[in-house]
Chain A
Amino acid sequence: MEKFEVFSGVAVPLRRSNVDTDQIIPAVYLKRITKTGFEDALFAAWRGDSEFILNQPAYAGGQVLVAGPDFGTGSSREHAVWALRDYGFKAVFSSKFADIFRGNAGKQGLVAGVISDEDTEKLWAAIEANPGSHIEVNLVDRTATIGSLTVSFEIDDYTRWRLLEGLDDIGLTLRDEQAIVDFEAKRESWRPKTLPAKGV
């Protein structure tokens, strides 16, 4: 997982509340065997609508989503985060996230920042006044800045630390890699090894 400190990208105002994970990615896309390549599945039901925000040229390369409250509710599917990530999103802001979605986001390096309803409105207005403008997400200071507007966001300390360090679950374990190496050095020679293959 890449370290996340300060990131600047195209902001997308998604003026919808209660965007559940079925809307982020419909169930039909869950049969795939990959953990990537879900960019086409993101908001699939809405993408056919030419009015949909991501179909507008100024927002097509969106990387920071500013959504209404109750984002990521419903099914626990981790694919919702994969789809956002694969499309190119690095951060999502909302005044309220579903717990499971927020947990999944942290594991995949997607910042899920909580902002107030008031700041959501301010950000939407600022983005729409200048479509395609960049927003700077500063995880160190927990702020988002567009033009002269800066708002603060909340993210729990543990997730923030992991994102700043670029640590997923595996990365966390590998911080202990010396302990694994030490353990392996003591591993007895009678213990099983699949290679070189015998009995073939």
Chain B
Amino acid sequence: MSNKPLTLAEKVWNNHLVARGENGSPDLLYIDLHLVHEVTSPQAFDGLRLAGRPVRRPDLTIATEDHNTPTLDIDKPIADPTSRTQIQTLRNNAAEFGIRIHSLGDVNQGIVHVVGPQLGLTMPGITVVCGDSHTSTHGAFGALAMGIGTSEVEHVLATQTLPLKPFKTMAINVEGTLRPGVTAKDIILAVIAKIGTGGGQGYVLEYRGSAIRALSIEARMTICNMSIEAGARAGMVAPDQITYDYLEGRPHAPQGADWNEAVAYWNTLPSDEGAVYDAEVFLDANTLDPFVTWGTNPGQGVSLLDNVPNPADIADPNERAAAERALEYMDLVAGTPMKQIAVDTVFLGSCTNSRIEDLRAAASIIKGKTKAEGVRMLVVPGSAKVRLEAEAEGLDKVFKDFGAEWRFAGCSMCLGMNPDQLAPGERAASTSNRNFEGRQGKGARTHLVSPLVAAATAIRGTLSSPADLDDAASSTAGAN
């Protein structure tokens, strides 16, 4: 054993090695927490039945319903037969295999990546998997968290382990102080625009630097959530006092002596002085503007103060062609100021931005304001608990007074597996994570934005930041 300085990701990896792979075969890693939802699990459970295998560790497994759940009339049977079947199948499988499930109507029902942290199950130094690519969210706690496929779901259910090939590490250094109105979402959109949607392929990203350290856990979750949009399987932030304060006292957080032992271990997790990353990226937080996407992948983003780019200015022929196609699909003209783009719908929700801080941030902007005429705003809390918390704070009233629709928890319009979809040709400012063609509905057009930009856009009807709202009163405000 050498005393080579290690990164956060390497430490967590080494700590979960059940068997080291030989001759190029993968390592076998132990999985601390397996999150399950209705879409990617049915054939995994069926595979277990077929082989006569039990779930090895039901006590490390938890299920919730999110992708297909309606956000209206949740007390009525689900109308869509495919959705209804998938959810009923999850309930049956959970009962058969002894797995804890939080079903529609339960306080802990909601988006799987909101529920884990809310229960205190997500914590530093653990491995987390789920049959969902946005599992990277949990890396905000300093966990190694990865999305997996259905055959891997079956493998983890049966063995609580996963064969994995080692990864490379990339440091994303974000130094400085964010200006008012600029948030975690803007950081990650800027990172993806910088390194591209394939830039993180084969890497675990570690977000570092003073700007990251200053962020809340929920904001760090927003950043880690979108690591997959840069092609990385996982993103991580080293744990610190902010992490511990968020976690302490949650239902499944360690208690008493366990807590002290855990914190002592967690304090050893941050990357060692002199640890070497395979790649490094630098971003200046001081000069960052609110970021929005103009195209059809999350890497096609610009400052909100910019214009729709001109494909002719893009040197790389593949990227240029992609930009041309994107502008056509998005029905945008090069050179148009981003702020002149009018939307039909504003969606506040998804595993990226549906937590209580996101709702508070948006509510603080719209409070006492009037919604732009003809704009629909959908607010979908990440979990039933977030919804209740928001209602206790009166946020539901702020949204409803504003004219927004206050919905029940789930993935909703992020991917439109439930009835929450855009109509063909409709344009949305969305706090979600993917602006792919057809993602939010056939022919739908998506601009990815932060909750603050979503709120300001709902007021003005065009892509806007909170600073734009002050312009009428003071022509200097927000002029940066």
A43 to chain B, nearest CB (A): 21
Residue B254 lies at the interface, judged by CB distance under 8 Å to chain A: yes
User: Considering the chains assembled together, what is the distance between the CA atoms of A180 and B100 in angstroms?
Assistant: 23
User: Considering the chains assembled together, what is the distance between the CA atoms of A47 and B259 in angstroms?
Assistant: 63
Q: Which residues of A contact B265 (CB under 8 A)?
A: 188, 190
Q: Is the CB of B258 within 8 A of A189?
A: yes
User: Considering the chains assembled together, what is the distance between the CA atoms of A188 and B265 in angstroms?
Assistant: 11
Q: Which residues of B contact A200 (CB under 8 A)?
A: 106-108
Residue B252 lies at the interface, judged by CB distance under 8 Å to chain A: yes
Residue B126 lies at the interface, judged by CB distance under 8 Å to chain A: yes
Residue A179 lies at the interface, judged by CB distance under 8 Å to chain B: yes
Residue B53 lies at the interface, judged by CB distance under 8 Å to chain A: yes
Q: Is the CB of B46 within 8 A of A36?
A: yes
Known: A33-B85, A190-B258, A192-B60. A199 touches B18 (CB 8 A): no
B264 to chain A, nearest CB (A): 10
CB < 8 Å: which of B50, B123, B259 contacts A35? Answer: B50
CB < 8 Å: which of A168, A169, A192, A195 contacts B58? Answer: A195
Known: A192-B60, A194-B252. A34 touches B42 (CB 8 A): yes
Residue B155 lies at the interface, judged by CB distance under 8 Å to chain A: yes
Q: Is the CB of B121 within 8 A of A190?
A: no
Residue A49 lies at the interface, judged by CB distance under 8 Å to chain B: no
On chain A, the number of residues with a Cβ less than 8 Å from chain B's Cβ atoms is 31
User: Considering the chains assembled together, what is the distance between the CA atoms of A197 and B30 in angstroms?
Assistant: 22
Interface string of B84-113 (1 = CB under 8 A from A): 011001000000000010000011100000
List the A residue with the shortest CB-CB distance to B43: A35
Residue B176 lies at the interface, judged by CB distance under 8 Å to chain A: no
List the B residue with the shortest CB-CB distance to A193: B59
User: Considering the chains assembled together, what is the distance between the CA atoms of A1 and B48 in angstroms?
Assistant: 11
Tell me which residues from 252 to 267 in chain B have a Cβ below 8 Å from any Cβ of chain A. 252, 254, 258-259, 261-262, 265
Known: A169-B151, A195-B100. A176 touches B28 (CB 8 A): yes
Tell me which residues from 45 to 62 in chain A have a Cβ below 8 Å from any Cβ of chain B. none
Known: A33-B86, A183-B30. A192 touches B50 (CB 8 A): no
Residue B343 lies at the interface, judged by CB distance under 8 Å to chain A: no
Known: A170-B51, A176-B19, A199-B252. A194 touches B61 (CB 8 A): yes
Tell me which residues from 110 to 127 in chain A have a Cβ below 8 Å from any Cβ of chain B. none
Q: Which residues of A contact B18 (CB under 8 A)?
A: 176, 179-180, 183
CB < 8 Å: which of A34, A188, A189 contacts B43? Answer: A34
Greatest chain A CB density within 10 A among B85, B107, B119 is at: B119
Q: Is the CB of B121 within 8 A of A170?
A: no
Tell me which residues from 363 to 412 in chain B have a Cβ below 8 Å from any Cβ of chain A. none
Tell me which residues from 143 to 193 in chain A have a Cβ below 8 Å from any Cβ of chain B. 168-171, 173-174, 176-177, 179-180, 183-184, 187-193
List the B residue with the shortest CB-CB distance to A199: B251
Residue B209 lies at the interface, judged by CB distance under 8 Å to chain A: no
Q: Which residues of A contact B108 (CB under 8 A)?
A: 199-200
A189 to chain B, nearest CB (A): 5
User: Considering the chains assembled together, what is the distance between the CA atoms of A15 and B122 in angstroms?
Assistant: 56
Q: Which residues of B contact A193 (CB under 8 A)?
A: 59-60, 252
Q: Is the CB of A198 within 8 A of B251?
A: yes
User: Considering the chains assembled together, what is the distance between the CA atoms of A176 and B278 in angstroms?
Assistant: 31
Q: Is the CB of B100 within 8 A of A197?
A: yes
User: Considering the chains assembled together, what is the distance between the CA atoms of A174 and B158 in angstroms?
Assistant: 9
List the B residue with the shortest CB-CB distance to A171: B51
Known: A190-B258, A193-B252, A194-B61. A1 touches B46 (CB 8 A): no
Q: Is the CB of B154 within 8 A of A170?
A: yes
Residue B419 lies at the interface, judged by CB distance under 8 Å to chain A: no
User: Considering the chains assembled together, what is the distance between the CA atoms of A128 and B163 in angstroms?
Assistant: 46
Tell me which residues from 105 to 158 in chain B have a Cβ below 8 Å from any Cβ of chain A. 106-108, 119-123, 126, 151, 154-155, 158
Residue B297 lies at the interface, judged by CB distance under 8 Å to chain A: no
Q: Which residues of B contact A199 (CB under 8 A)?
A: 108, 119-120, 250-252
User: Considering the chains assembled together, what is the distance between the CA atoms of A198 and B53 in angstroms?
Assistant: 27
List the A residue with the shortest CB-CB distance to B93: A33
Q: Is the CB of A168 within 8 A of B251?
A: no
CB < 8 Å: which of A36, A170, A183, A190 contacts B155? Answer: A170
B67 to chain A, nearest CB (A): 13
A180 to chain B, nearest CB (A): 6
List the B residue with the shortest CB-CB distance to A191: B32
CB < 8 Å: which of A168, A176, A192 contacts B252? Answer: A192
Q: Which residues of A contact B158 (CB under 8 A)?
A: 170, 173-174
Known: A33-B86, A168-B51, A195-B59. A173 touches B155 (CB 8 A): yes
B254 to chain A, nearest CB (A): 4
Known: A170-B154, A192-B33, A194-B252. A179 touches B107 (CB 8 A): no
A30 to chain B, nearest CB (A): 11
Q: Which residues of A contact B42 (CB under 8 A)?
A: 33-34
Interface string of B49-63 (1 = CB under 8 A from A): 111010000111110
CB < 8 Å: which of A33, A174, A179, A192 contacts B32? Answer: A192
Q: 19 new A-B pairs (CB below 8 Å) besides A170-B51, A193-B252, A194-B33? A: A31-B82, A33-B86, A36-B50, A170-B53, A173-B159, A173-B163, A176-B18, A180-B18, A180-B160, A183-B18, A183-B30, A190-B258, A190-B262, A191-B32, A192-B32, A192-B126, A194-B58, A194-B100, A198-B252
- Smallest CB-CB A-B distances: 5 pairs: A199-B251, A33-B42, A35-B46, A190-B262, A190-B254
Interface set of A (CB-CB < 8 Å, partner B): 1, 31, 33-36, 168-171, 173-174, 176-177, 179-180, 183-184, 187-195, 197-200
Interface set of B (CB-CB < 8 Å, partner A): 18-19, 28, 30, 32-33, 42-43, 46-47, 49-51, 53, 58-62, 82, 85-86, 89, 100, 106-108, 119-123, 126, 151, 154-155, 158-161, 163, 250-252, 254, 258-259, 261-262, 265
User: 5 A-B residue contacts at CB 8 Å?
Assistant: A189-B254, A192-B60, A197-B100, A198-B251, A200-B107
